[in-house]
Amino acid sequence: MNFLSPLGWLYGAGARSRNALYDRELLGSHALGAKTISVGNITTGGTGKTPLVAYIAETLAEHGEKVCILTRGYGREEPKSRVVVSNWRGVLVDALAGGDEPVELANKLIGKAVIVADPNRVAAGLWAKDQYGITAFVLDDGFQHRRVRRDLDVVCVDATDPFGGGEILPAGRLREPPASLGRADAIVLTRADMVDDVEAVVKRVRRYCADRPIFNAETKLDGFAFVSDLAEVHDGCDIGPAYAFCGLANPESFFATLRKGGVELKGVQAFRDHHLYTQADVEKLEHEAEWAEAKCLVTTAKDAVKLADLQFEMDCRVAAASLELNDPDSFHDLLLRVLSA
């Protein structure tokens, strides 16, 4: 408990009241006319949701679906506008216009998904279905966005901090009470490899969703690309001593993934989530990396989309990572049951 706890109680009461109105159908949800899968969380930021969104979109595309990812596009210049980030054929906007995470997804999913950033995901979904013949939607950060009717609710829970310190905003990081996990159809425990006893975490989560499937996930380092060419990933993680930097809600998870992948880190620098980089940032990073005797800089794909117009004197690598589930067959079956229902 802290001095903000009373505000957290009020926020939680509001979340419970809103959910009750939807549960009793006093607030309406709207179907998009195609299968809809939501990926979300109950805490603010940093749960490893974006890799799961990409994983699901790729799976749906592999089964012949015309996929659209609907996202708010946090941090973009005109947050109330509708922006087509990708139209299957390529990435149409930069991170300032589309948001860093949508552009990161667009780079990864060329030829596999349309990506639309719009705070009104009902209107955006209906428009995208008409424009592109969409047969399956993925809602990015959609658990609390109950205006959109969904066929599957997948919730990411960070195994290293499942309930955001146990308090609701603004006292803690919970968006709504843990009991809300009972609304989920499936739970994905991200960063499951970063805790000593993942089964203890599973038991804590099961208190709120006893009969839901729970999957463990970890982030696998696949190789590295260059900032100048994000599409070409080079296998192997032997890049020599490196200086890592990122602007994530949970930067330590990125640094831990690098170390687990065998990267020797001479130093690290964490910026605020969604940080917009300047040339001065680059010059300072290069200076610190040289002082630490690192041979290169290394960052995330989310950060890299905001670095394309900046000049580097030192080699800057971009970590390519993917999600690895403990039971991918069962997760695929879950998705396919939704498509065939």
**Tens digit of each residue's pLDDT (9 = 90 or more) over 315-335:** 999 999 889 999 999 999 999
pLDDT in tens, 4-55: 777 878 888 888 999 898 989 889 999 999 999 999 999 987 788 999 999 9
What percentage of the chain has pLDDT greater than the value 70? 98
Q: Is it true that 5-218+324-340 and 221-322 share their CATH fold?
A: yes
Residue from 144, 103, 92 nearest 121 by CA? 144
The pLDDT assigned to 121 comes to 97
CA–CA distance, 223 with 238 (Å, rounded to integer): 9
Predicted confidence band of residue 164 (pLDDT cuts 50, 70, 90): confident
Q: Can you tell me the mean pLDDT for 159-165? A: 91
Task: Answer yes or no: CATH 3.40.50.300 is held by domain 5-218+324-340.
Answer: yes
**Mean pLDDT for the stretch of residues 266-294:** 96
User: Which residues, including other chains, have CB under 8 Å from residue 252's CB and lie 6 or more apart?
Assistant: 270
Higher pLDDT, 237 or 44: 44
CA-based torsion, 79, 80, 86, 91: positive or negative: negative
197-213: per-residue pLDDT in tens? 999 999 999 999 999 99
Report how far residue 32's alpha carbon sits from residue 132's, in angstroms, rounded to the nearest whole number: 13
Question: Tens digit of pLDDT for each residue in 132-156?
Answer: 999 999 999 999 999 999 999 999 9
Place of tokens 């670095």: 307
- Angle at 205 (CA atoms; ends 200, 209), nearest 5 degrees: 140
Burial class (CB in 10 A: 0-12, 13-18, 19+), 209: buried
Structure tokens at 296: 């290169």
Helix axes 49-62, 328-340, angle to 10 degrees: 60
Comparing 54-58, 70-74, 282-286, the range with the smallest average pLDDT is: 70-74
- The CATH number given to 221-322 is 3.40.50
Does residue 171 register a pLDDT over 90? Answer: no
Which of 216, 159, 158, 149 has the alpha carbon at shortest distance from 183?
149
Nearest to 157 by CA among 195, 131, 121, 120: 195
Domain boundaries, the chain: 5-218+324-340, 221-322
Q: What is the pLDDT of residue 281?
A: 98
The stretch 181-190 carries a mean pLDDT of 97
pLDDT tens string 242-268? 999 999 989 999 999 999 999 999 999
Over the stretch 62-116, which tens digit does the pLDDT of each residue have? 999 999 999 998 889 999 999 999 999 999 999 999 999 999 999 999 999 999 9
Query: What Å distances lie between residue 81 and 78, 147, 247, 253, 273, CA to CA?
Result: 6, 18, 24, 32, 22
Those residues whose C-beta lies under 8 Å from the C-beta of residue 328, and which sit 6 or more positions away, are none
- So what's the pLDDT on residue 235? 67
Structure-model confidence comparison of residues 3 and 25, the more confident one: 25
pLDDT at residue number 237 = 64
Lowest mean pLDDT among 161-170, 230-239, 245-254: 230-239
Indicate the average pLDDT of the chain: 93
